[in-house]
Amino acid sequence: MSTVAVLGTGIVGITLATGFARAGHTVLVGSGHPDRPQEALASAGVRVAAHADAAGAADVVFNATPGEVAAQFLAGLAPALRGRVLADVSNAAVRGPDGFPTGPLDPNTSVAEEIQRALPDTRVVKTLNTMDQRVMTDPSVLPTPPTAFLAGDDPTAKAAVTALLHDVGWHADWLLDLGPLTAARALEASYVMLGPIIRRHGMAPFSLAIAH
């Protein structure tokens, strides 16, 4: 089993960490306040550590920090992330008065690409950003098979992330590799659908899916 680090202690980070722990992986969560107790993490056997310590101990690191600041934040962890696989699940957007996304911050790039530019010695993979966090590590929560997209420039990095997704219930035919990391632009652009989806369906779990 792999050692997985999750950077971020929001609901997405906690969901990822507890999901991978249930699947039998050793999981560390990176936090700016590692001394603060996190009951949900402790009960799942997840240890909280400083961001650099968590990243440096992991085989695969998941970025669950806000997309608007992720590249700048992760650049500060470059030594710990050198040589690592980093799966980015974040989104960034221009937001309307209601807080929902109305468009990408920059249609000519993506959060994942900016992270890769900031971390040239880290292998970045975009995935899991097109769904509610409850689906990320429990895809069978939906009655219709969801799709987890992957984009990245390193095949071995995508293989490592794919293996972890299999471990938390993603079937092989529910995964779709979209090719290079530039495909993250399309994946992140889909985030603008969040507001209309929630207005129509409420806070129920959801995911984009490809029917074929």
Looking at the domain assignment, is residue 87 inside a domain? yes
How far CA 199 is from CA of 10, 98, 100, 211, in Å, comes to 22, 11, 10, 23
Residues in the chain, pLDDT under 70:
37
Query: What total number of domains does the chain contain?
Result: 1
- Say what the pLDDT of residue 169 is: 98
pLDDT digits (tens, 9 = 90+) for 124-134: 999 999 999 99
Give the domain range for residue 18. Answer: 3-201
- Say what the pLDDT of residue 136 is: 99
Q: 65: which 2 tokens?
A: 């920090």
pLDDT digits (tens, 9 = 90+) for 57-83: 999 999 999 999 999 999 999 999 999
Report DSSP letters for 102-138, one per residue. Answer: EEES-TT--HHHHHHHH-TTSEEEEES-SB-HHHHT-
Looking at the domain assignment, is residue 207 inside a domain? no
- Say what the pLDDT of residue 176 is: 98
Looking at the domain assignment, is residue 210 inside a domain? no
CATH number where 140 lies: 3.40.50.720
- Say what the pLDDT of residue 125 is: 99
Looking at the domain assignment, is residue 208 inside a domain? no
CA dihedral 150, 156, 161, 164 (to 10 degrees): 140
Query: Containing H/E element for 152?
Result: strand 148-152
- Say what the pLDDT of residue 150 is: 99
Looking at the domain assignment, is residue 127 inside a domain? yes
Looking at the domain assignment, is residue 211 inside a domain? no
- Say what the pLDDT of residue 1 is: 80
- Say what the pLDDT of residue 103 is: 85
- Say what the pLDDT of residue 63 is: 99
Looking at the domain assignment, is residue 73 inside a domain? yes
Looking at the domain assignment, is residue 191 inside a domain? yes
Query: Containing H/E element for 62?
Result: strand 60-63
- Say what the pLDDT of residue 38 is: 82
pTM: 0.96
